[in-house]
Structure 1
Amino acid sequence: MTVSRSLMRAFALAGVLFSAGLAPALAAPADVALLKSYIGEWRGRGVLIGANKESVVCRLSLTQGNQDKVNYNGRCTLAGSNLSVAGTLAYVETNKRFEAAMTSNATFTGIAVGQKRGSGLIFNLREREKDEAGKDMNISAQIQLNRDAIQVVFEVVYIESGDSLRAEVPFSR
């Protein structure tokens, strides 16, 4: 199983949960405050489990964006590769929801929808993609932003073989 490209795509999909350029929106003050509460520097260290176990080391920076947006820039080192993601989080009043979009060095861009859960936010993504060899894979990612922690969990399952990659990366300030 090829880890680096597929893994970078999986992290890029997970990164969609944080980022890109959304249209300006007037958001409820509490929703804007919730997004802004995550502004700061975050570090994460976790494990990727596939054919082998490998460490995943990440850092991300959330900063004030234009209007009520929060910008995101992040980098993860895994399987001898680096993945970079960037974009924007926003509460889009017109749609009455949180949205995130992103770009990455793994040539992925996308948008995800988030929901309030308790005092935090949760974004879920499920995609079906092809790896660099053209093999189908299911990708799922979940990002939980809850008080002073961010938890990223993603999984890639190759349809034909059933092989999988799973990573969990907890972040703290």
Structure 2
Amino acid sequence: MTLFRRLTRAAALVGLMLAGGSAAPAFAGPAEVALIQSYIGEWRGRGVLVGANRETVVCRLNLTQGNQDKVNYNGRCTLAGTQLSIAGTIAYVEASRRYEAAMTSNATFTGIAVGQKRGNGLIFNLRERDQDEEGKDLNISAQINLNGNAIDVTFDVVYVESGDSLHAEVPFSR
């Protein structure tokens, strides 16, 4: 698999962890709504993707008020000359008593991550097994930590057969 395809997949995973949303209606209490709305604003991040090569990742993320107490987001990351656009919403879903983040991207990746309140912030974790465009199995783990005036994104992708891996950390600030 070429480095470009690996980076595109990795960028899509960064997108997943930066995005938020839910297909179900979100009816949340004031505290849950206030928590997700506290992240409304413009965010910038710069980090490193380490795989076969080391690449700088530069991201912008804009969170805005959405419908029904949701927070919408639009973002863009650049790495290895490739741009990834992401969009979605973050919501607290009262029926399941949890935060959910869903996203779509220009890399044809979509997904939902579940979040939990930790201290004064939120942590979204994703662990899944997937396949790349060539049908090769991947183990994926990602985490986004929204805590006060910071958003920290970490993710790992491991190709099961070869053991090749990608690791990225991107800290964001306003």
Q: Give the match for residue 10 of structure 2.
A: 10
Q: Which runs of 4+ in 1 moved over 3 A?
A: none
Note the alpha carbon deviations across 1:103-150, whole angstroms, 9 max, x for none.
111111111110001110000101212122221111111000000000
Measure, in 1, the Cα distance between the counterparts of 2:5 and 2:76: 15
Q: Give the match for residue 89 of structure 1.
A: 90
Q: 5 Å matches for 1:12-161?
A: 12-17=12-17, 18-161=19-162
Measure, in 2, the Cα distance between the counterparts of 1:140 and 1:95: 23
Q: Is the 8 A contact 1:75 1:85 kept in 2?
A: yes
Q: TM-score, normalised by structure 2?
A: 0.94
Aligned residues: 173
Unpaired segments ≥5 residues, structure 2: none
Measure, in 1, the Cα distance between the counterparts of 2:106 and 2:86: 7
- Aligned-residue sequence identity (percent) comes to 75
Measure, in 1, the Cα distance between the counterparts of 2:148 and 2:93: 21
SS of the residue corresponding to residue 4 of structure 1 reads: helix
RMSD: 1.3
Q: How far is 1:21 from its partner?
A: 4.9
Q: TM-score, normalised by structure 1?
A: 0.94
Measure, in 1, the Cα distance between the counterparts of 2:8 and 2:113: 18
